[in-house]
Amino acid sequence: MVSHRWFMLGLSFAVFGSLHAQSSDPSHAPADHPWWRPAVIYEVYPRSFADSNNDGIGDLNGIASKLDYLEALGVDAIWITPCYPSPQKDFGYDVSDYTNIDPMYGTLADFDHLVEQARKHHIRVLMDFVLNHTSDQNPWFLDSRSSRTSVHRDWYIWRDGKGPGEPPNNWISDFGGSAWTWDAKTGQYYYHYFEAAQPDLNWRNPLVEKAMFNVARFWYDRGVAGFRLDAVDTLFEDPKLHDNPYVNGEMVNKYNDNLPENHVVLRRLRRISDGYDAVLLGETWTDNIGQLKQYYGDHDDEIQLPMNFMFATVNTLSAPKFRHQIDSIESSGEWPVFVITNHDMERSYNRYGDGVHNDEIAKLMAALYLTLRGTAVMYYGEEIGMSNNDPTRLQDVLDPLGRMDWPKNKGRDGERTPMQWSAAPNAGFTAGKPWLPIPASYKTHNVATELADPDSILNFYKTLLHLRRDNPVLASGDYIDVDPDNPNLLCFLRSYQGRSVLIALNLSGQPQPLSLDLARYGWGAGKASVLLSTMQQPPTDPGNATLDPFAVVIIQSERVPTSSASGSVVASAHVQN
Ligand code: GLC
């Protein structure tokens, strides 16, 4: 099966001066942008972020207790992966009640408190909306499977088999095996793109759409600023249930993935969201830029922020491969959304690290996705260089995907381990037993230790995030590739209202010459000012310099006028003005 979604696992593997938000609007965005365009959206995996009651599992009050940290870090919004009541078969992506909070995470009152406190910290809250399927314990499904004539029977996809013991067609679940499960009581099969415990909703039934859109309104009315839309590509299936074809021995999900009807639903959901001035962030796994472009809508009337997983899965420190992905989203005319990892992908620290220079490479990757033109989505722990802690024995694996294909695929537990807050036992995450084991690297890679070290990954991230927010060129500037044939360096200008910032990144492990002629781009003669660099002696002449292995150099052709904004930029090691 060609499963784009789990490909990673298969490999085993701000305007000047407007810094301070109005009390009614937590935005740091420049006036010419909606808040979410220059934003950094921080993904919180609630089980693993902060545990306030020491049961070993994170919770909403834990997240609220870390808002000072998140504000100081410089993020604009948090996206919380599902915290609804759930049997946790797929760790929350199996929702049994869409309008409540799972007791393990707290209560609706805790949620309201979190949204209110977040607003005070100028941070918006996005929820995760699991549209494609519910839990098999959801009352809708319990009723659906109770009889062929139940009220909710048609809310799910029930079909007769092709013959005795034969499912309706050849579709394969992303979690392995047939996508159809036999239900003895009513003598039919139900369909599930994912686990059998995650039956697909029937989006062709208008009552399903109505119920789900009411869920959206419920959370919008509670102050949510938007949703991350889970698995939006799989909402619809071919009503005739044609068998999927095989290409080169692999199934292509032609009839149950990326159907045009998806876009009709997204346009309707967008209209509801617009009524709340909310943003939609999409889990949009696509094979090419044309497919990704469709998710924005022909008239910008679908998802404002479809995540670009083609960029996220470059998987190798290759300047040409990243350049190709950047060029292709830039040439689409759409607003890019960059992400380098999430709760379904091996952490970037392992994926891009060479085992020797991982900390330098973590800074390099941060400088890449946080200085490009676009919204950035950042996974918790990336800012401290958290690494994967994959299970070594099948009996320790919790993720259903890891159990399915062990040991070829070790599952997703490794990238979901508890946030490393300090060098104290359990990384300061809990006084109980953490639900997943914490890697030994927590002793060096944790918030407290890194805050005290001016050269840490965390302080690099902080400086970069504040630079991104405070410098209007980075927030709003165009993207210009100024060294398009360089096999080792990515060098691009961001340019806005006559000012330019050059970002020069060495993606190789060798020193590399930098010899750019930037005059034609209006780059001023004379010395540029260094905004941020990992080099001890950062170069200021882009025409004649050498970049250290894995170096980051961010320079500006003219001095940014003094304002409270530039103050935060000066505050860290290797940052010169
Ligand atoms: C999305 C989630 C993933 C989950 C799947 C099924 O891909 O990101 O974690 O397993 O949907 O809900």
64 HSE (CA, 13 A, CB side)? 19
Strands 226-230 and 279-282: parallel
Cα–Cα distance measured from residue 323 to residue 126, given in angstroms and rounded to the nearest whole number = 30
Separation of CA 3 and ligand 1 centre (Å): 13
Q: Do the Cβ atoms of 280 and 305 come closer than 8 Å?
A: yes
Q: Which of 473, 540, 442, 312 is nearest to 48 (CA)?
A: 442
The DSSP code for 154 is G
* Residue 558: other Cβ atoms inside 10 A: 15
Separation of CA 527 and ligand 1 centre (Å): 49
Residue 161's pLDDT band, with cuts at 50, 70 and 90, is very high
pLDDT digits (tens, 9 = 90+) for 464-504: 999 999 999 999 999 999 999 999 999 999 999 889 999 99
The residue among 33 and 304 whose pLDDT is bigger is 304
Mean pLDDT of 40-53: 98
Judge whether residue 516 has pLDDT over 60: yes
Residue 558's pLDDT band, with cuts at 50, 70 and 90, is low
pTM of the predicted structure, to 2 decimals: 0.93
User: In the structure, how many helices (H) and strands (E) does the chain have?
Assistant: 17, 20
Mean pLDDT of 241-266: 97
Q: Which of 45, 49, 47, 44 is nearest to 428 (CA)?
A: 49
Cα–Cα distance measured from residue 491 to residue 514, given in angstroms and rounded to the nearest whole number = 9
| Element containing residue 141 per DSSP (H, E) | helix 139-144
Separation of CA 231 and ligand 1 centre (Å): 7
Cα–Cα distance measured from residue 555 to residue 119, given in angstroms and rounded to the nearest whole number = 33
Separation of CA 93 and ligand 1 centre (Å): 6
Residue 70's pLDDT band, with cuts at 50, 70 and 90, is very high
Q: Of all atoms in ligand 1, which is nearest to the CA of residue 344?
A: 9
Q: Do the Cβ atoms of 453 and 460 come closer than 8 Å?
A: no
Cα–Cα distance measured from residue 475 to residue 466, given in angstroms and rounded to the nearest whole number = 11
| CA quadruple 369, 74, 463, 532: dihedral sign | positive
pLDDT at position 33, please?
A: 82
**C-alpha distance from residue 526 to each of 229, 430, 515, 519 (Å):** 48, 53, 15, 11
pLDDT at position 524, please?
A: 82
Cα–Cα distance measured from residue 574 to residue 530, given in angstroms and rounded to the nearest whole number = 9
Q: Which of 57, 111, 116 is nearest to 80 (CA)?
A: 111
> For the CA atoms of 289, 292, 293, 298, what is the dihedral angle to 10 degrees?
150
* Residue 31: other Cβ atoms inside 10 A: 8
Strands 512-514 and 545-547: antiparallel
pLDDT at position 55, please?
A: 98
| Element containing residue 77 per DSSP (H, E) | strand 77-80
Q: Of all atoms in ligand 1, which is nearest to the CA of residue 90?
A: 10
Separation of CA 174 and ligand 1 centre (Å): 10
Show the 3-state SS of 358-389.
Answer: HHHHHHHHHHHHHHCCCEEEEECCHHHCCCCC
pLDDT digits (tens, 9 = 90+) for 337-352: 999 999 999 999 999 9
Smallest CA separation from ligand 1 atom 12, residue: 93
pLDDT at position 27, please?
A: 60
pLDDT at position 525, please?
A: 75
> For the CA atoms of 519, 32, 474, 480, what is the dihedral angle to 10 degrees?
-40
Cα–Cα distance measured from residue 158 to residue 154, given in angstroms and rounded to the nearest whole number = 7
The residue among 566 and 351 whose pLDDT is bigger is 351
Residue 575's pLDDT band, with cuts at 50, 70 and 90, is very low
Cis bond before residue 139 (omega within 30° of 0)? no
Outline where 239-318 has alpha helix (H): 261-275, 289-296, 309-312
Judge whether residue 4 has pLDDT over 70: no
Q: Of all atoms in ligand 1, which is nearest to the CA of residue 412?
A: 9
Mean pLDDT of 59-63: 99
pLDDT at position 9, please?
A: 36
pLDDT at position 501, please?
A: 97
Mean confidence (pLDDT) of the chain: 92
At 401 the three-state DSSP class reads helix
Q: Of all atoms in ligand 1, which is nearest to the CA of residue 194?
A: 6
pLDDT at position 233, please?
A: 96
pLDDT digits (tens, 9 = 90+) for 447-457: 999 999 999 99
pLDDT at position 31, please?
A: 65
Q: Do the Cβ atoms of 466 and 569 come closer than 8 Å?
A: yes
Out of 227, 230, 283, 309, mutate this one to test ligand 1's pocket (max ligand atoms within 8 Å of CB): namely 230
Q: Which of 110, 96, 3 is nearest to 404 (CA)?
A: 3
Residue 367, exposed/middle/buried by CB under 10 A (0-12, 13-18, 19+)? buried
Outline where 472-555 has alpha helix (H): 472-476
Mean pLDDT of 168-196: 97
pLDDT at position 527, please?
A: 75
> For the CA atoms of 97, 98, 102, 103, what is the dihedral angle to 10 degrees?
-70
Cα–Cα distance measured from residue 426 to residue 434, given in angstroms and rounded to the nearest whole number = 7
pLDDT at position 26, please?
A: 54
Q: How far apart are the first and last CA of the chain?
A: 53
Structural Rg of the chain based on CA atoms: 24
Mean pLDDT of 282-304: 97
Tell the residue number behind the tokens 């930037």, with chain if given.
Answer: 518
Ligand 1 surroundings by CB, under 6 angstroms? 5, 90, 93, 130, 194, 230-231, 283, 343-344
Tell the residue number behind the tokens 């995996």, with chain if given.
Answer: 45
At 523 the three-state DSSP class reads coil
Residues acting as catalytic residues? 230, 283
